[in-house]
Amino acid sequence: MDSDDPGRREGGPRRAPVSRSGRGRAAPRRTSGRSAAPRGAGQGRPGRRPRPAPRPEVPRPEVPYQDPAGYEAPYDDAPYQDQAYQDQAYQEPVYAEAPRETRRPAKGRKRPSGRGGSRTPRRPAASGGDPGSARRPRAALGSRAYFGAAGALGAVVIVGLGAVVLLRGGDDPVPTHAPAAVIGRPAGSGPSPTSYSSSPTSAAYAGIAARTSDAGPLTAGEAFPPSAATVSVPDSDAKLTLRTKRLDGDCAAAVWGATVAADLRRGGCTQAARGLYASTGRGERAYGMAVAVFNLAGSADADRFVGLLDRTRGGGFVRPPAATGPLGAFGQGFGMARGLAMGHFAVVSWAQRLDGGGDERDETLLSLLIEGGKAPAVLGRAARAPR
């Protein structure tokens, strides 16, 4: 059978067409771009034209399947990917701000280190290590620096005198029941000293720090024993004698000013013992001294009271007992006073020249303040208190 017979090649594989003019030679291969019929195709060509019909059977390329553009186009245009990408770009500034927040605490850490470095030299200054800051108050206060040194020396003397009282024993038995505090209405006006200083209590009076352990009220024998009838000033010819004395159950009678009386009420003051001394000399060298002892509830009340007198001076202070003669003008002119907290007792001494003269350089006045602080009643109780 002829190889060009269309009936024979219908189900067989495709063969390259053979030229009739020259059998055995392969005809030129068709290309997809050639539309013209091959050379020498006579009656065989009409049978070959239906051959391309199977081509649609081979899905090459399948238009419905291999149209990725049609399938992926909605995915590429999906707003979700665009938003996801844009979210990252939007979050970058937020994430970039995180280092800024970490840098701010870092700066904060440097500031305390800088401040700590500046505080280090300041702490010794606050504790009194700066000699310049310690000299300025002394220069401004004048005699108060002397009072500080004299007070320390006086504390040593007081402890020594307390031991003497302990050896001798008390003049009167000490009652064991404390009276109730009664504070009346104080005077609205009165005198005040020119200068004043105070000192808190010390360990020497720890045995009488609270009135609960020293409940007995003061007696006249304790407050004004025979040994306290005169006061002598060391290294001086001045000698003062007790002229007037009072022991009041109402502490308001011993002060003036509502603020001072209110503090005594707060401190539970139950008694006030006052004495007024005058020297035997005449003229400009005559001296006077007033001493007041307040019986308070505790050492904290005594500390507060002696400190308050410096702030209320001019608007409230201790009242000297009434007297006649030259002592009637006590409190007028230049005067110096000092308050001492001694356990639950507060002792205030006030010295001046009877002519109203003098100044802070008068050593006799300074010595009188020290001697006036040696209240025999307080020293005796401190010496007898258990330690």
Quick one: which H or E segment has residue 107?
A: helix 79-126
Task: List the one residue out of 331, 301, 342 whose CA is nearest residue 196.
Answer: 331
Which residues is 275 bridged to in the sheet? 245, 291
Structure tokens at 278: 């005058």
Residue 296 · residue 344 · CB < 8 Å: yes
Residue for token pair 């025979």: 226
Q: Residue-wise pLDDT tens for the chain (387 aa)?
A: 444 545 455 555 555 555 555 455 555 555 554 554 445 444 445 555 556 555 555 555 555 555 444 444 444 444 444 444 444 444 444 444 444 444 454 444 444 444 444 444 444 444 344 444 433 333 334 555 555 555 555 555 545 554 444 444 444 444 444 556 788 999 999 999 999 999 999 999 999 999 999 989 999 999 999 999 999 988 888 899 999 999 999 999 999 999 999 999 999 999 999 999 999 765 558 999 999 999 999 999 999 999 999 999 989 999 999 998 888 889 999 999 999 999 999 999 999 999 889 899 999 999 999 999 999 999 999 999 987
Residue 17 · residue 38 · CB < 8 Å: yes
Amino acid (1-letter code) at residue 351:
A
Q: Give CA–CA dist 240/369, Å, rounded.
A: 12
